[in-house]
Amino acid sequence: MVLVLPAMAGEPREFGPYRLVRRLGVGGMAETFEATRIGAGGFAQRVCLKRVLPAFSDDEEFVSRFQREAKLAARLRHTNIVGVIDAGEIDGAHYMALELVDGVDLRSLLKSSPEERLSPDTVALIGMDLAYALEHAHEALVHRDISPSNILLSRSGEAKLADFGIAKAIDNANVTASRSAKGKIPYMAPERMRGESVDGRADLFSLGVVLFEALSGVRPFDGVHDVETMRKILEGDRVSLSEAAPDAPEKLRKVVERLIEVDADARIQSANELLDLLAAVAPLPAVRQALAAMVEEHRGGPEARLHVRAAEEERDTELTRVPGVVAESALDLTAKNRVRRPWLFAALLAVFATTLVVVSQRATETPAPETRIPEPSGANADTGPVADTGAVTGAGAVTDTVADTGAVTGAGAVTDTVADADTAPAPVPRGSVRVVVQPWGNVWIDGKFFGRAPVSARLPKGRHVVAAGHEIPTVRRIVWARPGARKEVELTLSEE
């Protein structure tokens, strides 16, 4: 199936033998795209294309390092390493084509997990996968930039390490190098901060910080700013894992704490040694299945897989709603029906108006003290469906959501639903969620359209799916609402 996505404003669709599908993001030294490599005879391969930004492309020293490190990374072939498929230069722009992992990065998964942490068994599994990756890689090169954003989790429950060879090329670049370190300092080994030569133990330190965070929901060395964080790492001033994650097995805690020793000689010395230590806490095979299910859920379920459903199909099932207008999907209409049967909307509006009259008459018969209006359960008043005025469902049946004034069901029959105010249970406090989309986009929560970001919503306790996109949802995140708590969610969309 050919994946068809909207064109990117200001971007050429073709880049040498690659067709750029959509921008995935922009970092300190490169921009990343989902792309399709076109070959002879209709051959097509989906890849992740990382293209160096112009500021770096003009630096000859950086380009030389980038090419050398890309060649080394291309020699790595391991199931737990994101493979380099191709590297080169097109029209003065240097690039790497990488394996495209259908899944989610660890940073996003942590953000959407309760208390932003994972179970000890899941952490042990991820640790073992990455230890295997480092055992293979350290024969050729050091990663130097391990962080949750560079750890990808596939729908099969595999952890894969990405971006080998990039950090070393950046280290001595003369331009914009400071931007590349943004967000990486909490995971940086102290010897690298001191400008010393590094070996595989620096990667093990970074991996230890990642596992510590995944176990506890906090970083071991975390200052209010980068300078304080660097001081804490250099001095070994950190949080105790036994206090941050008391539910984690003691053997696993000891392994992680040995990884983050400031003195490299006191640290676990090799990935092979780490594998031996993790063998004592090796999780059952079912844990990988559970991790795969978590990734699948985060990505929207099987029906949202990019390789089995094209964007045009998704457009038909997740249509943009206009506030105050019933969504076409709720009426189970096809695009063809929506064009050929405009009379249906007029009929629904007539039924809707009649319903309001009936409800209004019933409301006048109910004593004022008995009347109570429940709080809206979905979108806010400005952008979502209008609450307490009835909702059209099925093939035109109308149900009313006004409490204590009667409910219209079926084809207009009225049933009384007056509740006793003295016996009604106290309402459960809701959580408050504010959704911001960068640079811009619309928001859906639990499949309901909320309008253009930023939006705020009060949600019942539990798990909710927040999605963002332009015409259709393209980015999803799972959030957990807690009674009375406030949470801000930021989603980033490609500039299409």
Structure tokens at 40: 């002879």
Closest CA to 212 of 298, 137, 123, 150: 123
Looking at the fold, whether 55 and 204 belong to one and the same domain comes out as: yes
Record the tokens describing residue 475, joined without a space.
Answer: 């980015």
Q: What's the structural domain count of the chain?
A: 3
Domain identity same for 59 and 174: yes
Q: Specify whether 380 is located in the same domain as 484.
A: no
Residues 100 and 227 in one domain: yes
**Residue 244 domain boundaries:** 14-304
Domain-located, residue 4: no
Q: Which residues are CB-contacts of 109 (< 8 A; sequence separation ≥ 6)?
A: 118, 153, 294, 295, 298
Q: What's the DSSP call for residue 377?
A: S
**364-373 long-range Cβ contacts below 8 angstroms, 24+ apart:** 366/404, 366/405, 366/418, 369/421, 370/404, 370/418, 370/421, 371/404, 371/405, 372/403, 372/404, 372/419, 372/421, 372/424, 373/402, 373/403
Torsion of CA 126, 132, 133, 139, to 10 degrees: 150
Query: Are residues 447 and 476 both part of a single domain?
Result: yes
* The pair of three-digit structure tokens given for residue 343, joined into one six-digit string: 């009379």
Alpha carbon 19 to its chain centroid, in Å, reads 24
Q: Which of 415, 447, 465 is the last residue of a domain?
A: 415
Q: Are residues 170 and 63 in the same domain?
A: yes
Which CATH number is 456's domain given?
2.60.40.1120
How far is the C-alpha of 208 from the C-alpha of 127, rounded, in Å?
A: 9
- For strand 431-438 and strand 486-492, is the pairing parallel, antiparallel, or unpaired? parallel
Dist CA 209 CA 205 (whole Å): 6
Q: Which tokens go with 99? A: 């394996």
Residue 4 CB-density burial (10 A; 0-12 exposed, 13-18 middle, 19+ buried): exposed
277 and 329, same domain (yes or no): no
* Same domain (yes/no): 152, 241: yes
In a domain, 5, yes or no: no
Nearest Cα to Cα of residue 121 among 81, 157, 162, 146:
157
Angle at alpha carbon of residue 151, lines to 150 and 155, rounded to 5°: 130
CATH at 290: 1.10.510.10
Which residues carry out catalysis?
145
By three-state DSSP, how is residue 247 classified? Answer: coil
Interatomic CA distance for residues 342 and 424, integer angstroms: 43
Are the C-beta atoms of 19 and 2 separated by less than 8 Å?
Answer: no
One domain for residues 156 and 244: yes
Domain-terminating residue out of 415, 438, 459: 415
CA distance 357 to 349: 13
Same domain for 265 and 406, yes or no, is no
Please tell me the pTM assigned to this model: 0.61
Residue 354 has a pLDDT of 52
426, two tokens: 């106290």
User: Does the residue 312 lie in any domain?
Assistant: no
Q: Is residue 8 part of a domain?
A: no
What is the pLDDT, as a whole number, of residue 247? 92
How far the first Cα of the chain sits from its last, in Å, is: 22
Is the domain of 368 the same as that of 394? yes
Contact 277, 256 (CB under 8 A): no
Is 85 among the domain residues?
yes
Block mean pLDDT (10 aa), the chain, length 496: 40 82 80 86 86 81 80 88 90 89 92 92 96 93 91 94 71 47 81 92 97 96 92 95 94 96 96 94 92 87 46 33 34 39 49 47 45 40 38 38 39 42 62 85 88 87 88 85 85 71
Residue 115: half-sphere exposure toward Cβ, Cα within 13 Å:
11
**Strand order through the sheet with 30-38:** 14-15, 18-26, 30-38, 44-52, 93-99, 84-90
Residue 395 has a pLDDT of 38
With b for 16 or more beta-carbon neighbours within 10 A and e for fewer, the 146-165 pattern comes to bbbbbbbbbbebbbbbbbbb
The whole-number pLDDT of residue 287 equals: 95
Tell whether 291 is covered by a domain.
yes
The answer as to whether 3 is a domain residue is: no
Residue-level pLDDT at 188: 95
pLDDT score at 165:
63
Angle ∠(238,239,241) on CA atoms, nearest 5: 125
What residues pair up with 421 in beta bridges, in sequence order? none
Domain's final residue, options 274, 304, 334: 304
25 and 155 inside one domain:
yes
Using CB atoms within 10 Å of the CB of residue 469, give its burial: 0 to 12 exposed, 13 to 18 middle, 19+ buried. buried
**What is the dihedral sign for C-alpha 338, 343, 349, 351?**
negative
Let me know if residue 310 belongs to a domain: no
